[in-house]
Structure 1
Amino acid sequence: MSSTAQLATLSDIAELARVRRPVVSTWRTRFATSDTPFPAALDRRSGREVFSLDEVVAWLEGTGHGNNPTARQDAALAAALDVLDPPQRAVVTHGLVALLALKAQLGITLDGLAAADLIDLADDVDPDDLCLYREIAALGADAVLWAGHADALASAAFTPAQAATTILSRHRRLGLTAVTDHALAPTATALLGQLAAELVPADTAAPLVAPHGEADLLLALAAHRGEPGTAVLPTPAAPEARLARRVLLAGGWEIVEAETDDGAVLPPRGAAVLVVVPSATRPQATDADVVAALLQTEADLPPDGRALVVGPASALCGGLPAQLQADRATVLRSGRVRGIVRLPAGLWPSRVRQKMGLWLLGPGAGDVRSPDHRVALADLSATTLDAAAATDLVTDLLSTASKAARSHAFRFARLVPTTTVVAASADLLTVRPQSRRHRTDAGQTAAALHDLLARAGTGGDATLTAWQVVPGEVGGPVLVTLGRLVELGHLRLLPGNRLAEDDVTDAPGGVTVHTPWTLTAPLPGHRSIDRLGLAAAYPASRFTQPGDVVFCTAPRAAALVDRDGFAVVATPARALRVTQSAPPGLIPEVVAHAVRTSPGHGDWRAWPVPILPTAVAATARDALAEVDFTRHVLTARLAALDALTAGLVEATSSGAVSLLPPIRTTPMEG
């Protein structure tokens, strides 16, 4: 085992030399018969050749190959610990992190110390054997050799903290399954570290509490700040919790033992509680476990405390069974929830399709019944989480106070009354306040519509019914989001058909094709596909029905009502169909208008749609249908007039015809 610290695989050598892996194989072949051949492999372990690090470094220095002038200083980082047998590898890996933690806490050189001295020092730092004593003792006589390697690692990585981070970054190779299963992606670490840092300003002495002993958010915070802090942790009960402590100690953190009550951690006054569920210290957590952790965090949070809870979006943001929904609503009723966010998938590399959610809790309760008590909701599930997006999200969440909200231009978040979020029975982020649309003076609106009816109804082929326009109900129609209407089954979402661009033409006839171009063109456009070709190449195509709302969100939000049906929608355009279960006030024309006048950014499911009062829905539907029919008549006449203009110009200018004045007949007298 003692020689393993001086062994490296071909991949390790490539990383040390800062070249691609095939380059090392080329060196072995090209210089095999030269005066300076590449060092021969010493052994074959776990199916891979291993080489002497000293020989490889000497060869790199002697030949000048590679791109790392400090290869000798960095050599310790290239040691192939993963070639050890799994039980031995676990002992060495945990022992090395423990030695790095010991070195960071004492600030001394470990190389040259006897094994007994190392164990005595471990006992001084960890008298209750909470995280490192038994790991160093398990190294036995080889603790001396690995202590020297720990010094070399810290020197190569510049600090024990960075050396420990480097070891953990190789969790897959080293068999650290718990770390692999719950590691955060760099983008998640950057965002959560920034949010935690803003939650607890560096100029305050607020303790940081990890109630389950996990280190993920604490390390993210330290990476953002560039310095450690004080962590309050419970007594570790599992190996993963011991590892988290060792990593924090290697990073220079001060650890304070948490006060507990019946197993639950009681955060001290002014504390910031950072929770990730599931995590390495609490794996296999279900949605019920995540909600329970959220409930426990709020219940134990001191009045002046803050909390950041991170977990699967399915538990923190999505629809849940009734009991879990009620438990989540209990946290909302506390009045301490400042923000709820859904983040994109991929932030847990081991669960690439799972979206992440987070809750932000602040000090003070407040009266949740007040319309001014609001929660910031943000859905970034379809947003690229770059540095700018992360900063804007953090700014949004920190601007939820009433005074700051008045002057802040929110990019992602929207403020919704807490009572509305509490009442939600499904996905929290599709919630919109059951609000009423702002309306102008009823008399002015009625007069303006009278004028428009008079002007639009002029002409023999454009006569409109003289609808009575009277002031509406106080408050106006209720607003419901598109996403909520789909969830309730009042709207059915129909995805677009994947059609080859070459199959869709501008030729007349065939089956009408709705595309983003036809929806967003300044003038009505027409695309079609041959009927027989459609049946042969796309037998599973979905056709529209009369009244379907065809819409797209890019290049801009646009929508129309398909009056005739039996058309196909080409992706990325989609269609919404009003179902039989929809209330009478859900009218296709209103849905299309809501899409056209939407903000045009963010998730379209969050766009609000007015639901007309039942008493006026039928009349409004008839009026809109009549206006639409009249528009079609006038559009057809306008097209005929355009064609007539072109024909007259072409025919008269070519001399094909001549125009004479109309024959006027004079009535005969008598």
Structure 2
Amino acid sequence: MGETLMTMQDIADLAGVTRPAVSQWRRRTKVRGRDVPFPQPSYDPGGRELFETREVVDWLRSTGRGNNAEFAEDAPAAGIPAGVTFDQSLILLCLRDNSEDDLSNLDESTLVEIAMSIDPADGVVLSEAIDGNFPAAALEFVDDLYSASYGAPDALDRLESGQLGRNQERRGFSGELVDIVAAVVDGMVAHADLSTGGVEPPGAGRFVLACEDLDLLAIAQNLAGLDSHGRTDSSQLRDLRRRALLRGWLALDVDQPKVTVTSVHGWERTAALEQLDHVVLDLEPFEYAIIAGSADLLCDRLEGTAERHRSESLRGSRSANHGPLVGALRLPRGLWKHAPRQNSGLWILKGQAGIARPWVADLTETEIDSGELAADIAGVLATSSAPNELPARAFRYVRARDIRSILRGEAVVPPGTRAVSFASDRYDFINDVRAASIETAEATDLFDIYVNDRPASVVVGSTSLGAMIESGTITRHSGSRIDGAWAEASGTVPVVDARKSGEVFRVDAFVAENSFRRSIRTLPGDVVCCSNPPTAWVDGRGGSLVFTPNKILRLGDDARIGPHTLAAVINDARFKEYANWQVPSVPVDQVEAVEDAMRRLSEYRQQLQMKERAAMKLGHALLSGVASGTMELMESSLEPQTSHGR
């Protein structure tokens, strides 16, 4: 992390607290009896206070304040170097997501080549890359932002919600609403991909998104593209295309089937009902529409003219008892920030579909799992395609409702409507006890080493790690932000973290290939390190994904130091800035011997750490299992009894 600056609001966001809470911290410097002064600010030309990111991270670590345990991992995306703009960062983020290495390691011609490969028609970033002149601080900031994020969509979210993105024009939809709509769209895509037998037209799994709202651009991570709604090439449209590119879907083929996403939040009721009617009338066969708005308009009972207008929109024809409504969801309060006490609602429509039993759910007090919701939507669409067949799966949230009740003026989603849920099996602690006790029962290997005196006639110097990187003796690469939800016991690709002494969990090879295609993996002998606090670990096997904020140090043939020796140097370092770490120049005849000793010492330390973790797990499982009544201790596991001659 270079010299980056944060505002007071940035500090609050990083710590997971409100802005006034940071002001209180600043005034009250006593923390558990110690005086820990708040970092001193500098000032921009407008007089705004700015704080150095590294000082803020150190202060949060020393005080223990805040509600974000991952503040150190999030910090590279929070601080902004002086002079870096939002547009620069957005353009560079598109290039970084399609680069095999950090942008700061590439020259201008390589950046143009990357832009040409992803944007030959110059609709997104090619002109901007050719104009170039990106400051080094912007390149380093985007490298750190990308490394601190769970892929390009998350990096875009962090950029938009941070210091640079606050001046962007937004509707004020919360991330929870965006996630819900995204899950619905994912369900549509999953259903279209799985459709067979001619029910859907060829290529139905590929859609174009008809949406021009910045807040809702995060909804279609699996879609084929963005409907431009025009042939012009304005700066706003280029901006939308960049965001679409970072979401993983970008196409300008408006002849493909569309998913139209429309929000009527804040509209006057008559105008909102007219907009609903327009959306329904514009739907083509096999196209979908999602309408978001207030729950009192989309979900609750209406009276008089409003009720008649809504019912007419939901009928397939003037006298039909069916229509295009596939499903409706009542959503929690606060999803539209301009009306935090208002519940939101969602309609899911399908073009020219005669559906007599739409599926509805009240999700106002339900913990929503995006994957489960997407699966429900895919199941609902499959059921609507074959209305005379029973559903092929149980639903987590939704329940069928007769549309005739809705057309008579009743609520679309009666309060409390939800699917039946089932209790899960109780947890069995016996397997945990047995697995941990196998580890603790094994003896630990002994470690010993022999040394001799040596005449101190050789002058042993040192050089800094920064100088070795500058000379190319060592190359430095960024890690990746990886969500623990992707962990799989049967995974084959390790995710490593020097702070956890190696492997943290594993992910499936297909997930690693699809979700982390641009992430740099380790080679055998790479040193994985973290600078604050200085920690290092050697990957002897290679092929691992590296958890940010760790970096990969790759030694060249002329490094004159082994990876385990370098890791030991880093683990003993006193400086927090990696460039200042001093790497000793080991005599040539001692390089291999020192490396072998450091390797064996590292293995010994790992054995001790594994024993410690197993002992902690064993203690937890024993207490929990006995207390829950699912396990009892045998007499042989207690204190040994007197043998009485046996």
Calculate the TM-score normalised by the size of structure 1. 0.46
Which structure has the higher relative contact order (CA within 8 Å, separation 6+)? 2
Q: Highest Rg: 1 or 2?
A: 1
Q: TM-score, normalised by structure 2?
A: 0.47
